[in-house]
Structure 1
């Protein structure tokens, strides 16, 4: 299946180190990649149907220090939908005057609920259909932009309905927070003072973050598999929804994942 990367920070930070680690896994997950950077209400979204190991777009991302406090990235191993740009994660939609970005790792069977005109998939994937349904149901549940905690509660009610149809590991952000839901496999780590010098798990690359950060800086990283070999990554539990704001865990919720 695919692999996910999410970052949430209390000050804009770049993803060059973490994305380099993710891209080394694109030999197997070679059916496209994408990465989204929030900048206030703006969004930079890069997608390519080619492997992150060989794409010139991926090389740009690895070497260009785009700073953001919410980042969502994905490398694809196709299960539903052909290899094409419109089927490449992350997907983006607008709601309440904000961009929303979504990426999914998993495979949903027989999930094609009716969608109204506001949110429609462009491609053929189960992932994009699930995203459109989530956005539709969030919009139905709230008249306007709710507080982060309210959104987390709404998601905790909606996500079990998706899990019943298969594997649903996902990342979602609207630029204010990062939501991570674990169905089978997600890990996270929080980097904060005193910063160390992590080494990538799949490539002999190290960064001394202490030389590039301040004592008040903090960033949470979420990934399918730990990206570094010398940091205290924690595994999320099946059914767990975590909300990250300002580089730390804001809420943890666990819904019943009955099928």
Structure 2
């Protein structure tokens, strides 16, 4: 199963330590990798269908990006293919520009039912995976609720409603990260997310991953779906969790 990583900080930051640790701990996922970040409000994603870490070696581009990226929000993904072919197009993160904003999205899980969905406003060109369709569904939901250009609270409420609707219409396993560069949303309804703020051995800011044991020996906090819930949604800005809700 794919793995996710993110760092959110109040100022532009790099993750030259945490990103390689993430790739090494998620090394069983050999079907692609990607890193997304923002530069002057523009989303930039570099990705590959190759492995990020194999037999003690990091992919050259992955290692370079870990050193040079500087952004308030960084999202990384290593892929274990379950939907769509193994190619660069289907590596995560995905980017869509919608109503004047760039959005970056990465997904971990399995939701074959949603593959039949087609975005009504924007689509991930060439992609046929459940992850691409989930991204399109979420942006359509924000647009339906006229929330994509509003503040954090109405945006969070709209995304919570859209996510509940998604799970009702297309049941599946969904962990996702979604950001427009100034706020990041994190959702989990299977496995877990683990979070750490103010690491002593990794980068500062708020670190998040699906790797169960975390990326260091520190006290990572587990966030997971509770019985009877559709999952947990969080809104993160800077190094703080601003909103958290069981759906």
Write the distance in 2 (CA, Å) between the matches of 1:118 and 1:43.
16
Q: Is the contact made by 1:26 and 1:51 (CA closer than 8 Å) also made in structure 2?
A: no
Give the ranges of 4+ consecutive aligned residues of structure 1 lying more than 4 Å apart after TM superposition: none
> When the two structures are superposed, what TM-score results if normalisation uses the length of structure 1?
0.84
CA shift in 2, pair 1:121/1:110, >3 Å: farther
Which structure 1 residue ranges, 5 or more long, are not aligned? 199-206, 210-217
Q: Is the 8 A contact 2:3 2:78 kept in 1?
A: yes
2:91 aligned with 1:88, yes or no?
Answer: yes
The number of residues matched between the two structures is: 233
RMSD between aligned residues: 1.8
State which drifts further: 218-227 or 145-154.
218-227
Mark the runs of 5 or more structure 2 residues left unpaired by the alignment: 226-230
Distance 1:230 1:82, change over 3 A: same
The Cα of 1:27 is off from its aligned counterpart by: 3.1
1:34-183 equivalences in 2 (<5 Å)? 34-53=34-53, 54-62=58-66, 64-111=67-114, 112-142=116-146, 145-164=149-168, 165-183=171-189
- Over 3 Å counting, the alpha-carbon distance change for 1:21 and 1:100 in structure 2 is same
Which residue pairs with 1:19 in the alignment? 19
Comparing 6-15 and 38-47, the one that deviates more: 38-47
Q: Report which of the two structures shows the higher radius of gyration computed on alpha carbons.
A: 1
Change in CA separation of 1:114 and 1:82 when aligned onto 2, cut-off 3 Å: closer
TM-score by length of 2: 0.88
